[in-house]
Structure formats: structure tokens, C-alpha cells
Structure 1
């Protein structure tokens, strides 16, 4: 088994962070993992994306042209990367910022209004965690329990943010189930 996930959006949306958290969760579950971040020179507001490769065997190359899954947090990312997703994969669409579909009928495409959900749980900055939780709930690449533990660990130096992020995880998982 090998799964490749491309997380993409604007700089400042926490794209690299959620890729890192997923990679950590997969590593905690005993998988081989590669995390390759990339961002434009603008950082905040520019483009940001990362690729996470999760496998049950050594990973030949962390550089992936055609990922199995895509988490698109903005329109330009959906336009650019949706055509590259492998047949049978998942395309997650942040419907808060994207009002069009990928045009693919050979993938599992689902829309989640992550910014509205994040606002409802207490902070728009938790939108990336809502997206990650929704994607993990749909893909089942790692368990939700492992994901929660890795998020808690990631925010351990800011303990006041842990309850908010746990609410974001629950809300994202619930959104994926609809």
C-alpha cells in the first residue's frame, strides 16, 4: 500500500502544518513516511503545498507527479492539481473558497465549508485542522485517535489551543460523514 497526498492552498492557511501532522500520525502508526514541503517566495498569501507519501514499504521517491489524493484549500490549487490526481483517489474541496468542481467523475470529490465550520467552533485559524480531520475521516489513512494525539503533541507548547483544535477535529470528521 502506498498513498500520496497533495495538500495545497495559499501561504498562511497552515498547509505545511497539516501535511506534517498527517505524516507524524502515519509514522506513529508504523508506516514509512515522506513529507516534502514547497512554498512560493511570498509565503503568507503566496502558494504553498506539500506532498505526503505514506507506505507500508520503503518509499522509492518522495517526489510525486500524480498523487492519489488532493486537499485543495483554494481555487488555484484545485485547478492546478485536480487533473493530476489518480483515478479512484479523493479530492477534498474547501467550499468556503472554491465554488466550482474539479470536473472529475473518476474520483471521490467532496466539499466541506471549512472556514464556516472553523468559525463555528471558535476560530477561523482552525480551518486547516477541520480540513485535515475531514480528509482523514474520509480516507481512513490513519485513525482519528492517532490524529488527535498528534495534533495535541503539535500544539503542546500552546496548550490553550488544544481544546479548540479538538473541536475542529470533531467538526471536520462530522462534516466528512455527511
Structure 2
């Protein structure tokens, strides 16, 4: 099993930490892991993405041109990464701020309204955990207990009191991800 993932959005959305938590979760499961961040110099508000590879075999290179899964959180990332999902792969996106929705019919597309759900939970900072939960519902490649361990590793200890809130956010994401059918959208317009 090898899963090659790109997570992309604005700096400040928790893109890099989502990738780091996935990577730590893979380590907890004795998998081979690669975590490769990429971001502009402006950080918050600039674009950021991270490539994560989890595998039960050695990883030959962290550089990828095509991905099994793309998690997309802004329009610039949609424009750049929709075409990089392998045929038969998965694209997950938050529709907030997306004007040009995905149009491919050779991949599975899912929508999760993480922004709205985080607002409903009263804490915008759990946005990335909601999206991560949605991803894990579609592709349960790491166990929830390992994600919690990954959170403990990636969060400074002074924030460990927020782990139960993050766990609730992951569950909320698992319960609120829905299939997006391009064909249905084309008929409506």
C-alpha cells in the first residue's frame, strides 16, 4: 500500500500541520513516510502545500507529479492541482472561496464544508482537523488512535488540552463529507 497525497491551500489554514499529523500517524503504524512542505515567503495568506507519502515499502523519491489524493482548500490550488490527480484517484475540497469547481469525471470528488463546520464548532482553528477527518472517512489509511498520537507529537504540550476538541473535529469531518458529481452539476447549468 502506498498513498501519495498533496494538501494545498492558503498559509494559515493548517495545511502543513495536517500533513505533519498524517506523517506522524504513519510513523506510529510503522510505515515509511515522506513529508515535504512547500510555501511562499509570505506564509499566512500565501499559498502552501505539502506532499505526504505513506507506504509499507521504501519510498524512492518525495518528488511527485501525480497524486492518489489531492486535498484542495483554495482556488489557486484547485487550478494547479486538480489535473495532477491520477485517473481513478480522489479529490477532496472545501467549496468556500472556490469559484471554478472541479470538472474531471475520471476521479472521485468529495466536498467538505470545513470552514462552515469549524465556525459552527466555535473554533476556526479546527478547520484542518475537520478536513482531515473527511479524508480519513474516504481513505482510512491511518487509525484514529494514531492520528491522536500524531497530534500529541505535532502540537506543543501547552496545547494538548485542545486534543479532545481536535478529536471531535475529526469525527465531525468524517460525518460531513459528501460525494460531488460533476455530471449532476453539468446538467443543472
Give the TM-score normalised by structure 2. 0.88
- In structure 2, how many angstroms separate the alpha carbons of the residues matched to 1:112 and 1:152? 25
Task: Number of aligned residue pairs: give it.
Answer: 178
Q: Deviations over 1:89-145 (max 9, x none)?
A: 110111223244211111110001101111112201111111111111111111223
**Where does structure 1 differ by over 6 angstroms across 4 or more consecutive aligned residues?**
none
Alignment correspondent of 1:176:
177
Alignment correspondent of 1:72:
72
**Which has more radius of gyration?**
2
- In structure 1, how many angstroms separate the alpha carbons of the residues matched to 2:149 and 2:177? 20
- In structure 2, how many angstroms separate the alpha carbons of the residues matched to 1:30 and 1:159? 24
For the residue of structure 1 that corresponds to 2:65, the secondary structure is coil
Does residue 32 (structure 1) correspond to residue 29 (structure 2)? The answer is: no
**Contact 1:121-1:167 within 8 A present in 2 as well:** no
**Contact 2:68-2:86 within 8 A present in 1 as well:** yes
Alignment of 1:1-178 (within 5 A): 1-155=1-155, 156-176=157-177
Q: CA deviation at 1:177?
A: 6.5
Q: CA deviation at 1:78?
A: 1.0
**Contact 1:121-1:164 within 8 A present in 2 as well:** no
Q: CA deviation at 1:153?
A: 4.0
Could you say which structure has the greater relative contact order, defined with CA pairs below 8 angstroms and 6 or more residues apart? 2
Give the TM-score normalised by structure 1. 0.94
Q: Cα RMSD (Å) of the superposition?
A: 1.5
- In structure 2, how many angstroms separate the alpha carbons of the residues matched to 1:151 and 1:137? 18
**Contact 1:122-1:164 within 8 A present in 2 as well:** no
- In structure 1, how many angstroms separate the alpha carbons of the residues matched to 2:46 and 2:178? 31
**Contact 1:137-1:144 within 8 A present in 2 as well:** no
- In structure 2, how many angstroms separate the alpha carbons of the residues matched to 1:88 and 1:153? 33
